[in-house]
Chains A and B, each alone.
Chain A
Amino acid sequence: MGIFILRRLGVMLLTALCLTFIVFWLTNLYPNLEKLAKNQGNFRMSDEAVTSYLGDRGYLQPMPVKFGQWLGVLPGWVTEREEGKTFGRCFDSDTPVDERPNRCGVLQGDWGTSTVFKDEVGSTVATRLALTGKLMLCVLLLMVPSALIVGVLAGMREGSKLDRSLSTFSIATTATPEYVSGVIFIAVLASSQFGISPILAEWGWIDGKTLFLGSATSAMADANFWNFFLPVLTISLYGMGYIARMTRASMTEVMTAQYIRTARLKGVKFSDIVLKHALRNALIAPFTVIMLQIPWLLNGVVIVETLFNYKGFGWLLVQAASNNDIELLLAVSVVSVVVVLVTQLISDIGYVFLNPRIRIS
Chain B
Amino acid sequence: MEPLTWTGSLSGLNFIFYIVLLLLVLTIVAQLLFSLVPSGGARAVGADGTLADDQGVSGLINLVISWLFYAIIALVLIYLVGGIILGTGAGIFGGMARQMLPVWIALIITFAVSITYKRKLGLYGKLFDSTVGMIGFGIVMFWVFTGVMGGVFDMLITHDSLSQASGMKNKLPGTPLRGAEEGEYAWYLLGGDNLARDVFSRLIKGSWVVVLIAPLATLFAFMVGITLGLPAGYYSGRLDTILSFLANLILAFPVILLFYLLVTPEIVLTGIPNYMAAVLFVFPVIFFAVLLNSRYYTQPHIRTPLLIVVLGGLLWAYLSLITNDGFIVKNDDVTVYGIPAMIDWIPMPPEILVVFVSVVFVNSPTVFRIVRGLALDIKTRDYVAAAQTRGEGPWYIMLWEILPNARGPLIVDFCLRIGYTTILLGTLGFFGLGLESESPDWGSTINAGRRLLSLYPHAAIAPALSLLSLVLGLNLLADGLREESLRD
Contacts and interface: CB of A to CB of B under 8 A. Distances in A.
Contact of B427 (A161, A176, A214, A303): A303
Interface residues of B, number: 52
Contacts of A174: 475
B256 A302 contact: yes
B260 A321 contact: yes
A299 interface: yes
A275 to B, nearest CB: 14
A136 B144 CA distance: 37
B460 interface: yes
Interface of B is mostly: helix
A110 to B, nearest CB: 22
Contacts of A322: 260, 264
A83 B427 CA distance: 50
Interface stretch (A59-67, A144-152, A190-198): A190-198
Interface of A is mostly: helix
Contacts of B255: 299
Interface stretch (B151-159, B197-205, B304-312, B446-454): B446-454
Given A171-B476, A298-B254, A183 B249 contact: no
B428 to A, nearest CB: 11
Contacts of A336: 254, 257
Given A187-B457, A191-B457, A177 B249 contact: no
Chain A CB within 10 Å, residue with most, of B32, B266, B468, B474: B266
Contacts of A161: 31-32, 35
A307 B465 CA distance: 17
A340 interface: yes
Given A162-B32, A192-B454, A183 B254 contact: no
A337 B252 contact: yes
A175 B267 contact: no
Contacts, number: 152
B211 interface: no
Nearest to B36: A162
Contacts of B476: 171
Interface residues of A, number: 57
B269 A31 contact: yes
Nearest to A171: B475
A302 B253 CA distance: 14
Given A171-B476, A179-B464, A337-B253, A186 B453 contact: yes
A333 B257 contact: yes
Interface in B269-292: 269-270, 272
14 contacts: A19-B252, A26-B267, A29-B266, A32-B266, A160-B35, A165-B28, A174-B475, A183-B453, A184-B464, A184-B465, A191-B455, A302-B256, A317-B260, A340-B251
Given A18-B249, A162-B32, A174-B475, 17 more contacts: A15-B249, A19-B253, A30-B270, A32-B267, A175-B419, A175-B468, A176-B471, A177-B467, A183-B450, A183-B457, A184-B465, A191-B453, A191-B457, A298-B254, A306-B431, A321-B261, A333-B253
What are the 10 A-B residue pairs with the smallest beta carbon separation, nearest first? A321-B260, A187-B457, A31-B266, A175-B472, A175-B471, A191-B454, A180-B464, A177-B423, A340-B252, A336-B254
